[in-house]
Structure 1
Amino acid sequence: MPVLKGDLSAVFEPRRVALVGASDQPGKTGELFWRNLASFPGEVVPVTSSAETVAGHKAYPTLRDVEGEIDLAVVVVPAAGVPAVIRDASAKGVSAAIVISGGFAEAGPGGIRLHDELVAAARAGGVRIVGPNCFGVQNCDLPLNASMAAGTPRGGGGISLVTQSGAYGMAIHSLGLDEQIGFAKVYAAGNKADIGDAELLRYLADDGASRTLCFFLESLPDGRAFFEAACRATPRKPVIVAMTGRSVDGVRAARSHTAGLAGSERVWRAAFEQAGVILVRSGLEMMDVARALDSQPPPVGRRVAVITNSGGTGVELTDLLADEGLEVPELSVKLQDELRLLLPPLASPGNPVDLTPVWSRFAELYPLLVDRLARSGEVDAVVPVLLQRSASDERVAMGIRDAVDRLRADGVRVPVYVCWVAPRTSRPNADLLQAGGVPCFEWPERTARALGHAARYGEARAPASAGAVGPAAGSVAASAGSASAGSALGSASAGSALAGVPGPALAPGWLGIDAAAEVLAGTGIQTVAGRICGTAADAVVAADDLGYPVVVKAVHPTLLHKTEAGGVRLDLGDPSAVQAAAAELLMLASGAAVLVQPQVPGTELIVGGLRDPQFGPTVLVGLGGIFVEALDDTALGLAPLNHEAARGLVGKLRGYPVLAGARGAEPIDLDAVAAVITAVGDLLVTTPEIAELDLNPVLAAPDGCVAVDWRILVENPPGQDQERPQDSPRHAGETRRRPS
């Protein structure tokens, strides 16, 4: 297969590699990489000005001097010399370079200058850069070990890992050896001077060897692009993300309720969920889930059978599975009767199936029960718990492995996971199972967490969910197998008043009440009529015209949150009440006015939107009104959202049963609420000047909904040709530490 200029195949599948900084002197970084590249089936060319040969191979002083084409340069020279190497690579026509060297954007002002020189040199010749300041790259099947690790993890597996941390890449290498994990590719991103996570996700999603995709992220500047790539990848392959460095730096509570509620962590969590990404708490959990999904079919439901010879361990695992939303159902009477004939007298055929400590029969019973339960049709996954006696018997491990092989040969797709609670001396039997494609998870907690993620992933892709809007219910991407997967990402929702239409020209700052209402009306969002008045007398006239009862609100630029400022008076039923309320409110701030509106009934909701720095237009819905922050019952989604996805957001609220008509109450018009959510998302997409938007409250009734308070903040966003450095992984070393 030819290596295309600029294509990432040069990184993962080069034909000819140059090692810049090569050495055969023990203790040198160049010597370590020379040894690591020895298994590469193509040619490795040493480049160094310090010697004429390296390990008997002719060495070249620079990349320009190398005879023939070079697909990939691995650069291990000190940081100060790297820009010159990349200039040589550009002149030579090298497709890609892995820059191992540190001392760039993470090292202060001098390093930032070197970073900029490196990027400029690479762009001049179209050289793709991995790193700098990275662990390297491994293709375990080729094999290619262009990394610091002494050897590649076991190949033949489908797990591909992208990690920003080089040390974590080393840890994964060790884990792969210890737990017989089969990898396809390992990529350590380092400072991400060029290649971003979204591009890597797109490449690996199309890579046949990569079946399960893992990302260990410290930052995600190309968040929107990653989200869109994930929407297209997850219907075909699991995408698992462990995100570190959680922060609240995206919270802007002083500006709007929406911004205060939608902190940066909430936004990326919502984005990952919407895209069908599996979000985990740690790197260890990420690898457990990857093993579960890469080596076994995903469960298609939440019913789990547990086989154990320890009642206490079985009960603990049952509780932990319940914490994950899974169930260990009691088996049918017919199945229990069948199992009772196989089991010793004191054993329990319920679920968990407890064998009791009949050590002499473990090698017979564990494989037999795995087979019977998987074929029963009553469970979606089987978990044999192996403790000291059962784990130390090689025949048990071999029997379970062979039983799983027979299940797969017969087309039975029920997965089998082993809960391993055993001493280290029994570890070879766990290796036997894992090498045979049966994952072993140490202790019930790790087992339950991995199985919970696997079950949710499998359930979302079961045939019953084929009508969902995306990889999981509520996502914006099209269903798995759809020819238009992710198509909803590119335009405003069908039927929107603004679909495909440029937004209005707006002046920066908080829009006035009337101007904001006009913008909302253009999207089909209904607002309550009202009149702004400068005197108490005018307020009384307005109330008489609008009809009682009325609401009177203070209006002033400094009164951003009216209720908190004491600027709202409700249920005013006569002119004298309006006169008194307006007079009080006009005194709250110099130059204040009052807004008079008819009071309307309904359940209070908040619908808002903001433009997240990493993920772009984001919509929020929640239970609203004066308790919005206190209740904190909200759901977020990335815009645009179609109608079904918008209803899905409402369905995520803890208070949803109340909205849907719990205990005989009349339900609100959920379709009308969904239409408002969709319209807010479309407005953000088509009008980039809008930075934040609050509709709080929206009063929802059985026959529609209406916004009774609204605020829109307008800012001047950068033009498409005015990219800000912090928005692009090509410009920002993501581990950059600015001098204090």
Structure 2
Amino acid sequence: MINDKLLKPGTIAVVGGSEAISKTGGKVLYNLIKGGYKGHLYVVNPKAQVIQGIKSYPDVSFLPSCDLAILAIPAKMCLQAVTVLAREKNTGAFIILSAGFGEESGEGREAEQKIASVISSVGGTLIGPNCIGFLNMNYAGVFTTPLPVLRPDGIELISGSGATAVFIMEAAVTNGVPFSAVWSVGNSAQTGIEDVLEYLDESYTPGSSSRVKLLYIESIRNPGKLLKHSVSLITKGCRIAALKAGVSEAGIRAASSHTGAMASPDMAYDALLRKAGIIRCHSRSELVAVASVFLHRKPAGKRVGIVTHAGGPAVILTDILSKNGLEVPQITGPAAEKLKEKLHPGSSVANPVDFLATGTAEQLGLILDACDNDFSNIDSVAVIFGSPGLFSVKNVYSLLQEKMKNCRKPVYAILPSLINARNEMDEFAADGNIYFTDEAIFGKALAAVLNQPQPETGAGNSVRVDHKSIRSVIDSAAGGYLEPEDADKLLDAAGIPRPFTVYVTDVKDMESALEAIGFPVAMKAVGPLHKTDAGGVVLNVSDIDKARETFSRLMAIKECRKVLIQKMTPGTELFAGVKYETGFGHLLLAGLGGIFVEVLKDFKCSLIPVGINTAKDMIRSLKGYGIIKGARGQSGVSEELFAELICRLSALTEAAPEIRELDLNPLMGNSEKIVAVDARIRIEKRIPER
């Protein structure tokens, strides 16, 4: 419901404007004037006729028609003012700066919902309440500073927290990062982060719309909308990074299954952002650094050249890049030797290129030209250049600025001298350049950008499951945990292999089953929810006497109704499972089993549907991936079969959305097969809203 009256208002009324710029209403009016707003400004304040040179009206009822109203009045006065403006003054957009609404009480939440209802009834847009405002190229409707440099190609920041938006702007402006718009959605009574993304997606114009979006998220009402429009924007060429905070882990304690205990709300957000192709950051500095990388040319690959006059920072950056999957390739050959001849004795061109503390701007230019034109194994260049405080580095930074604009390959400026070169750095930023101050933060940001996979726009899942059989089991089952036989039927219908299994209730049936299966076997109690904890799992039963003894003991366990017998399956323990997360849909988790999942938490998570490419990415990003590939002479696990099983589990869940929790733990795998030796599935017959 975002409209032109918010984006390009011809008239703005500041309700609660004042002379005091130490107050919210005074500062937002000051920023509108200082920011060069070219439309008509009005003020509503009964205590003066003119405020900051702008005509003031005693009440909103005296105002002429206006497009946008910015409210900086007590919360209890907002509903009446909004009602008059919306219904009598043709006001179609509102920014409510005032606090005291849903962030404080249920009564406040009810009040903001009434305000949103009035505004929506006239097709209007509401930003807030409890926000710092909105600014774009047309006006600065915020009560905070700094007012950033605004350019069409700058970043677009959408924040659920006003204070955090200010701190992000402060960090970004200091490093020369331009903005195109800042949306502070506050309590999101009508317009949330996902609604802004929807508008930006549907109004996106290649060549003129901002391509870089930053999000600060505390909550999302509609994750599906965020996913849809983020994927669409990224597919159109945009780049998005997000900082997510405020996730509670309290719900984990209530989970009954193994998968349920591992999955968490934060994991759901992580999976959502990853599926959307959004880079998740964990601090403001990381978010700003990623945005700064976004605003440079996109390198052709992951091979980085490092140029420095100080060895230590170059070593730090080399370590960071290498640790995070990027290359710092050695530079050799005739072109390298020719370059070395032009540098001071003792310089190195091996990469990092160290042209010593006595290096000159001219030499830096020669190095960057060589990296751009002669060294084909370099895709981008990071220049680290500070000052010991002995001389000005203005000529070096001027040269660096020229090369950043003219080189075909992206050149990143890392300027660490926050005190000794402060003036030169400020001039560098004022000339429209972006810089980094810390090589480690830069290195991690560059790696995050270059390692981020594109969102999987299609399901990419070519597996087929027996949908009719799956529905037959689900439709005939009661809610809760499925009987083991029904779980087996679902696995069979989904094409998920499992060992031959027999369920027995007496010794005679057990003996007959063992004749058919052969030793060794696994014997498990059927009935107890957590059978391992109850002592209900016995492995490697190797003879009939041990089997009889085990059967008697298992049947004596409380709630045990029968005993499951399986042939022992050799291989590496794996794990896969599904959990429904309210608001997000189903999460699919997969990883190595045993100690890797229990203690090391080595598993990956994705939102369903999961296609083959995502499944392979999940497997390859495991810390224990080397075990799957085969380590120390041990045979590994078929990556193709594991990925296929993950896709089949996804397809099963799509066919049976009633599934709330599903555990395949463990799976036993080798290079030839992967089988589910234990399955536990809980369903709810009423399909929850996504």
Relative to the length of structure 1, the TM-score reads 0.84
Whole-Å separation in 2 of the counterparts to 1:656 and 1:634: 10
Whole-Å separation in 1 of the counterparts to 2:158 and 2:220: 12
Report the CA distance shift for 1:292/1:545 in structure 2 as closer, same or farther (over 3 A): closer
Deviations 1:495-546 (A, max 9, x none): 3444999784353211111222223333333333433333344333333344
Whole-Å separation in 1 of the counterparts to 2:615 and 2:172: 42
User: Residue 162 of structure 1 corresponds to which residue in structure 2?
Assistant: 158
* SS of equivalent to 1:132: coil
* SS of equivalent to 1:158: strand
Whole-Å separation in 1 of the counterparts to 2:71 and 2:656: 45
Task: Say if 2:180 is the partner of 1:190.
Answer: no
User: Residue 388 of structure 1 corresponds to which residue in structure 2?
Assistant: 387
Whole-Å separation in 2 of the counterparts to 1:17 and 1:498: 58
User: Residue 373 of structure 1 corresponds to which residue in structure 2?
Assistant: 371
Map 1:23-172; keep pairs closer than 5 Å.
Answer: 23-24=18-19, 27-38=22-33, 39-48=36-45, 54=51, 59=56, 66-68=63-65, 70-92=66-88, 94-139=91-136, 141-142=137-138, 144-150=139-145, 152-156=147-151, 157-172=153-168
Whole-Å separation in 1 of the counterparts to 2:484 and 2:636: 30
Task: Say if 2:253 is the partner of 1:260.
Answer: no
User: Residue 468 of structure 1 corresponds to which residue in structure 2?
Assistant: none
* Equivalent residues of 1:620, 1:635 under 8 A apart: yes
Map 1:465-480; keep pairs closer than 5 Å.
Answer: 471=454, 475=455, 477=456
Deviations 1:154-188 (A, max 9, x none): 11242111122211222334335433321101111
Whole-Å separation in 2 of the counterparts to 1:191 and 1:525: 45
Report the CA distance shift for 1:217/1:337 in structure 2 as closer, same or farther (over 3 A): same
Map 1:494-573; keep pairs closer than 5 Å.
Answer: 495-498=464-467, 504-505=474-475, 506-556=477-527, 559-573=528-542
Whole-Å separation in 1 of the counterparts to 2:687 and 2:558: 35
* Equivalent residues of 2:387, 2:420 under 8 A apart: no
* Superposition deviation, residue 711 in structure 1: 0.9
* Equivalent residues of 1:553, 1:568 under 8 A apart: yes
Whole-Å separation in 2 of the counterparts to 1:499 and 1:662: 41
User: Residue 605 of structure 1 corresponds to which residue in structure 2?
Assistant: 574
Report the CA distance shift for 1:152/1:498 in structure 2 as closer, same or farther (over 3 A): farther
Report the CA distance shift for 1:444/1:523 in structure 2 as closer, same or farther (over 3 A): same
1:658 to 610, 627, 638: 627
Whole-Å separation in 1 of the counterparts to 2:688 and 2:581: 16
Whole-Å separation in 2 of the counterparts to 1:669 and 1:421: 47
Whole-Å separation in 2 of the counterparts to 1:90 and 1:43: 18
* Equivalent residues of 1:382, 1:417 under 8 A apart: yes
* Superposition deviation, residue 40 in structure 1: 1.7
User: Residue 226 of structure 2 corresponds to which residue in structure 1?
Assistant: 226
* Equivalent residues of 1:52, 1:60 under 8 A apart: yes
User: Residue 281 of structure 1 corresponds to which residue in structure 2?
Assistant: 282
Deviations 1:73-130 (A, max 9, x none): 2121211112223333442554332111000111123323323333333343343321
User: Residue 419 of structure 2 corresponds to which residue in structure 1?
Assistant: 424
1:684 to 612, 630, 653: 653
* Superposition deviation, residue 342 in structure 1: 0.7
* Equivalent residues of 2:336, 2:349 under 8 A apart: yes
User: Residue 436 of structure 2 corresponds to which residue in structure 1?
Assistant: 441
Q: Which has the higher contact order (CA 8 A, sep 6+)?
A: 1
Task: Say if 2:170 is the partner of 1:174.
Answer: yes
Report the CA distance shift for 1:695/1:298 in structure 2 as closer, same or farther (over 3 A): same
* SS of equivalent to 1:673: helix
Deviations 1:236-295 (A, max 9, x none): 12211122234423425751111222233333223323332222221122112212221x
Deviations 1:439-479 (A, max 9, x none): 3211322332333334335xx5xxxxxxxxxx0xxx5x2xx
* Superposition deviation, residue 133 in structure 1: 0.6
Map 1:476-495; keep pairs closer than 5 Å.
Answer: 477=456, 486-488=457-459, 495=464
Whole-Å separation in 2 of the counterparts to 1:238 and 1:582: 60
* Equivalent residues of 2:469, 2:490 under 8 A apart: no
* Equivalent residues of 1:89, 1:127 under 8 A apart: no
Considering only aligned residues, what root-mean-square deviation do their CA atoms show, in Å? 3.0
User: Residue 732 of structure 1 corresponds to which residue in structure 2?
Assistant: none
Map 1:289-368; keep pairs closer than 5 Å.
Answer: 289-294=290-295, 296-358=296-358, 362-368=360-366
Whole-Å separation in 1 of the counterparts to 2:449 and 2:657: 38
Code of the residue aligned with 1:350 in structure 2: it is: A
Code of the residue aligned with 1:148 in structure 2: it is: F
Whole-Å separation in 1 of the counterparts to 2:471 and 2:81: 46
* Equivalent residues of 2:224, 2:584 under 8 A apart: yes
* Superposition deviation, residue 715 in structure 1: 2.5
User: Residue 481 of structure 1 corresponds to which residue in structure 2?
Assistant: none
Whole-Å separation in 2 of the counterparts to 1:152 and 1:251: 42
Relative to the length of structure 2, the TM-score reads 0.90
Whole-Å separation in 2 of the counterparts to 1:691 and 1:404: 53
Whole-Å separation in 1 of the counterparts to 2:365 and 2:487: 68
User: Residue 724 of structure 1 corresponds to which residue in structure 2?
Assistant: none
* Superposition deviation, residue 389 in structure 1: 5.2
Code of the residue aligned with 1:551 in structure 2: it is: A
* Superposition deviation, residue 619 in structure 1: 0.6
Task: Say if 2:643 is the partner of 1:674.
Answer: yes
Whole-Å separation in 2 of the counterparts to 1:617 and 1:165: 28
* SS of equivalent to 2:566: strand
* Equivalent residues of 1:145, 1:151 under 8 A apart: no
- Which segment drifts farther, 590-599 or 55-64? 55-64
Gap regions ≥5 residues in structure 1:
1-5, 461-470, 478-485, 721-726, 728-740
User: Residue 738 of structure 1 corresponds to which residue in structure 2?
Assistant: none
* Equivalent residues of 2:657, 2:687 under 8 A apart: no
* Equivalent residues of 1:690, 1:714 under 8 A apart: yes
* Superposition deviation, residue 197 in structure 1: 1.8
* Superposition deviation, residue 51 in structure 1: 5.6
* SS of equivalent to 2:103: helix
The percent of aligned pairs where both chains have the same amino acid is 29
* SS of equivalent to 1:696: strand
* Superposition deviation, residue 627 in structure 1: 6.1
* Equivalent residues of 2:212, 2:239 under 8 A apart: yes
* Superposition deviation, residue 686 in structure 1: 3.8
Report the CA distance shift for 1:679/1:57 in structure 2 as closer, same or farther (over 3 A): same
* Equivalent residues of 1:643, 1:678 under 8 A apart: yes
Deviations 1:541-584 (A, max 9, x none): 3333444433210112xx32322322112233443222111101
* Superposition deviation, residue 330 in structure 1: 2.1
User: Residue 13 of structure 2 corresponds to which residue in structure 1?
Assistant: 18
- Which segment drifts farther, 223-232 or 187-196? 223-232
Report the CA distance shift for 1:15/1:345 in structure 2 as closer, same or farther (over 3 A): same
Map 1:703-718; keep pairs closer than 5 Å.
Answer: 703-715=672-684, 717=686
Whole-Å separation in 2 of the counterparts to 1:669 and 1:689: 30
Map 1:715-726; keep pairs closer than 5 Å.
Answer: 715=684, 717=686, 720=689
* Superposition deviation, residue 667 in structure 1: 4.6
- Which segment drifts farther, 387-396 or 495-504? 495-504
Gap regions ≥5 residues in structure 2:
none
Code of the residue aligned with 1:443 in structure 2: it is: D
User: Residue 452 of structure 1 corresponds to which residue in structure 2?
Assistant: 447
Task: Say if 2:213 is the partner of 1:213.
Answer: yes
Report the CA distance shift for 1:404/1:701 in structure 2 as closer, same or farther (over 3 A): closer
Code of the residue aligned with 2:222 in structure 1: it is: D
* Equivalent residues of 1:398, 1:432 under 8 A apart: no
